[in-house]
A and B are shown apart, each in its own frame.
Chain A
Amino acid sequence: MPKDEYQSRDFKVVGTRPIRPDGIDKVTGKARYGADITAPGMLWGAILRSPHAHARIRGIDTSKARAIKGVKAVITRDDFTYQPEDSDMADILDNCMAGETARYDGHAVAAVAATSKSIARAALAAIEVDYEVLPHVTDVDEAMKPGAPVIESGRQQENVPKGYSENVTGRSQYGHGDPEEGFKQADLVIKRSFKTAATHQGYIEPHACLATLGSDGQGDLWVCTQGHYMVRNVCAGVLGLDAGQLRVTASEIGGGFGGKTHVWMEPTALMLARKSGKPVKLMMSRDEVFRATGPTASSSVDVKIGMTKDGKITGAAATYRLQAGAYPGGIAFLSAMCGFAPYDLENVRTEGFEVMTNRPKAAAYRAPGAPMGAYPVESVIDELCQKLDLDPLDARLKNAAREGTKSSYGPTYPAIGLEATLKAAQSHPHWTAPLGPNQGRGVACGFWFNFGGDTCVSLMVNPDGTVSLSEGNPDIGGSRASMSMMAAEELGVPLDQVRTIIADTASLGQNEVTDGSRVTFAVGLATIKAARHAVEIMKERAAMTWGIDPEAVDWRDGAAHPAGPNAGKFPPMTIKEIAAIASNTGGPIAGHHEVNAEGAGVSFATHMVDTEVDPETGAVKVLRYTVFQDAGKAVHPDYVEGQFQGGAAQGIGWAINEEYIYGDDGRLQNAGFLDYRIPVASDLPMIEPVILEIPNPGHPYGVRGVGETSIVPPLAAIANSVSRAAGVRLTSLPMSPPKVLAALKAE
């Protein structure tokens, strides 16, 4: 259990809505993203990708490509002579550049660097690959059956029961009590099966990087990523470099949502740079992003829940089957942990199966696994409420997890905010607003763990008393603003006296990637502690100047004060005054903090949505959407609201439109934004965010992560709304017009 960090206080800066410090650069086009820089003598890289879902690579002839003028390097897997011992690293290498087998449509098989984009394209076209096409499987249920084409033999863990294909690589189990006994106590038991399609994170910025790497093993990499330390460590591990010789700088990042917590092509750029002796810029096209970078898993789920007439859940069970794509791994265990996490249950069991298929290696997508965890559970709870004539918010409140509840995945909860979100939903005008014909209202709850992890922050007090803050986590949605605000709050200085930058990998110690909704929590915690460290030093400097004990100095409003009348009658020394004489009182002043942050504080949300179903076309229109979520403490409420709204919008896309569509040939048929349709402005209503603040005991200001939980409830909330509007239970996502129409006709 992490120690109790939280202390109630009156905030001056935290909780306000200042303009973000990187704002002007981003509204004027000056901000530099992954593809926005060049280097002298730079070459253009490009990657050749397999057109087959599964094929043995018998040979690659690059001679014609190498003969083209302006082509400076052509590489295949043979050029990656270092073989990582670690199996995760070996898998990443194989995913970046196929070895003996191309495992999915879009798998990289060769790469070039040339003096222009057009020459690079011509070189790709001149590479001849001899493929032996193999049988493939892209459906998760098919891939589990004995006799299915096996993607890679020998990767099955011992915990997988007999009777499954080798594609099933892992199985996990969670829960307590006996659901079968629980079902006997229920007045109604419903069992249903659900499916969700694979969806892509859909960040608007394709992956891009600029690499240099000398024969001495020293390299530099500029890259759009959620974690440049991770990129450094993985590239070093894959290429056999010393991490200290590779400096990685994070560009501004054009969205990630988990998809940029992985390495997809950076080792290729480094290898091209080493072989050519020149800087190489490598960018993915949108087609490559869809075909070769992580969508999240598709899922196939069975859920069984028993409920009494008065709404008590007596037994709950779920089996999750998620596809990991072309390599072992997977997130079914997270679905199995999250599905029932909002509820206080006596009898609950879940299991998750991780399944390999001939699809791109699945990647994290905003609360990975949790949306598919919640969707079937929240759908069946809604159906139980309908059939037992219960209010769906009342029923959830009756079963809601609270402080002291033993969660379905193990730990016992400290103070949590689920109940607060449900009560806020009940008292919101949205809940009682009238509905028209063909309209329905759905609600659902969602849970996410949140995360802390390795974090380093340095805070420098400059000679003029201003503050420079260095952190190591790419800022995707305004986190530099939040860090500056927490530093200003703690130091007692105006916000404009603090500037926060994202340091490169040579300038701070290890930082975990920007994931798990960890940054405002963990980097915020480290920022506050670094500020407190600097304050201690400044108190010592003031004490030295006054000739009193440092214990007799207080810090408030950006200045050192004598702690009381006994300390002496000295006028306060401001941070500016202390900084000005720092050289004479011991040298430069800086605070820092390094921590593996614990106590992230779990997060819950309740979503409420109205939809209208067109009975003639099956089209679903989202009419009204309200998000209720616990933020612990909203440091910058605008960007907390933005996370609520953005997660809901992605969930709407997942529920209604988005899916990876594969042909019988195993090729992705909709690798572009025209055919893979994410929500556009005219698809959506305003999304009302309601921020609840139940302080997280693990953070000095009570902060919880907010970024991911918002995508957990929408799938079920919308499915419940559509099911009520249509008068028929929908059990497969996306609820595209043909599917809804078929369900209406079947009714």
Chain B
Amino acid sequence: MSRIHVTTTINNDETDYLCETDETLLDVLRDHLDLTGSKEGCGSGDCGACTVVVDGRLVCSCLMLAAEAEGRTIETIEGMAGGDALHPLQQKFLEHAALQCGICTPGILVAAKNLLERNPNPSEEEVRYWLAGNLCRCTGYDKIIRAVMDTAANTRGAA
């Protein structure tokens, strides 16, 4: 089976890979590049556990073909912390106990970071609707919403 050669940027690193035509970006991240922080919860774009950012937009990586990543800029959960310094959202998720099993956490963090970059002062309702594409079965979302709101308030206070 012939494969496609793709050159792309993932978490600021230039990366290239060979993929089959039917492989998704999520397949490549997980199976070829060992970036297993993005999770496959459904494979149909319904759960958001595989959420990544492609050229600034949130994407379910299970719905994007790996071949489509040519020349794009991709951010995954693995690129969120700067070295050993956690991103403020990651820190707030820990402080608010905003995770239980943690399987949805990478996707939710990537989505929440994208929200705060667009809207540094979201209402609770705006946070809830922005994260409506990220399923969490453990928490009832309460502590997740609080962690995102608190991060936003903190970031505004620091600015």
Contacts and interface: CB of A to CB of B under 8 A. Distances in A.
A476 B128 contact: no
Nearest to A674: B46
B76 to A, nearest CB: 7
B134 interface: yes
Interface in B71-107: 76-78, 80-81, 86, 90, 93-97, 99-106
A191 B29 CA distance: 57
B137 A255 contact: yes
Interface stretch (A21-29, A128-136, A231-239, A418-426): A21-29
A682 B20 contact: no
B137 A206 contact: no
Contacts of A26: 99, 102, 105
Contacts of A204: 39, 41, 47, 49, 101, 103-104, 135-137
Interface residues of A, number: 59
A409 B105 CA distance: 41
Considering the complex of A and B, which 10 residue pairs feature the smallest CB-CB distances, nearest first? A29-B37, A254-B103, A649-B140, A26-B102, A638-B97, A673-B46, A645-B140, A29-B77, A477-B100, A27-B90
Consensus secondary structure, chain B interface: loop
A36 B33 CA distance: 12
A286 B43 contact: yes
Contacts of A646: 100, 137-140
Consensus secondary structure, chain A interface: loop
Nearest to B91: A27
Given A28-B81, A203-B101, A477-B101, A23 B94 contact: yes
A29 B36 contact: yes
Contacts of B145: 681, 686
Interface in A647-689: 648-650, 672-674, 678-684, 686-687
Given A28-B37, A28-B90, A477-B100, A673 B139 contact: no
Interface string A8-42: 00000000010110111011111111011010000
A572 interface: no
Contact of A29 (B38, B41, B128, B146): B38
Nearest to A253: B101
A118 B141 CA distance: 36
A477 B94 contact: no
A617 to B, nearest CB: 19
B97 A681 contact: no
B109 interface: yes
Contacts of A449: none
Nearest to A208: B40
Given A28-B81, A682-B128, A673 B135 contact: yes
A285 interface: yes
A69 to B, nearest CB: 10
B77 A678 contact: no
A117 B27 contact: yes
Contact of A478 (B27, B42, B100, B106): B100
Nearest to B109: A27
B132 A24 contact: no
A225 B156 CA distance: 42
B1 to A, nearest CB: 7
A23 B143 CA distance: 15
Interface string B120-146: 000001011101111111111111111
A509 interface: no
Contacts of A286: 41-44, 46-47
Contacts of A201: 137
Contacts of B129: 681-682
A206 B142 contact: no
B80 A28 contact: yes
Contact of A681 (B30, B90, B93, B128): B128
A252 interface: yes
A285 B100 contact: no
A36 B35 CA distance: 9
Contacts of A206: 40-41
A740 to B, nearest CB: 22
A349 to B, nearest CB: 36
A257 interface: yes
Interface string A635-647: 0001101100110
Contacts of B68: none
B47 A686 contact: no
A679 B37 CA distance: 24
A645 B143 contact: yes
B94 A24 contact: yes
Nearest to A36: B36
Nearest to B77: A29
Contacts of B22: 118
16 contacts: A20-B94, A27-B99, A118-B22, A118-B23, A203-B103, A206-B41, A255-B101, A255-B137, A642-B138, A645-B139, A672-B42, A673-B135, A680-B135, A681-B128, A686-B145, A686-B146
B30 to A, nearest CB: 8
Given A286-B42, A646-B100, A673-B47, A678 B137 contact: yes
Contacts of A36: 30, 36
Given A257-B137, A649-B141, 7 more contacts: A17-B97, A23-B94, A29-B37, A638-B143, A639-B100, A678-B135, A681-B141
A441 to B, nearest CB: 19
A46 B127 CA distance: 38
B139 to A, nearest CB: 6
A577 interface: no
Contact of B36 (A32, A116, A678, A682): A32
A477 B138 contact: yes
A642 B94 contact: no
Contacts of B43: 285-286
B101 A254 contact: yes
Interface in A30-61: 30-33, 35-36, 38
Nearest to B89: A27
A256 B138 CA distance: 9
B20 A203 contact: no
Interface string A677-718: 011111110110000000000000000000000000000000
Nearest to B127: A681
A211 B70 CA distance: 35
A631 B69 CA distance: 50
A118 B66 CA distance: 14
B97 A478 contact: yes
Nearest to A29: B37
A609 to B, nearest CB: 13
Instruction: Specify which of A22, A252, A639, A681 lies most central, judged by the most chain B CB atoms within 10 Å of its CB.
Output: A681
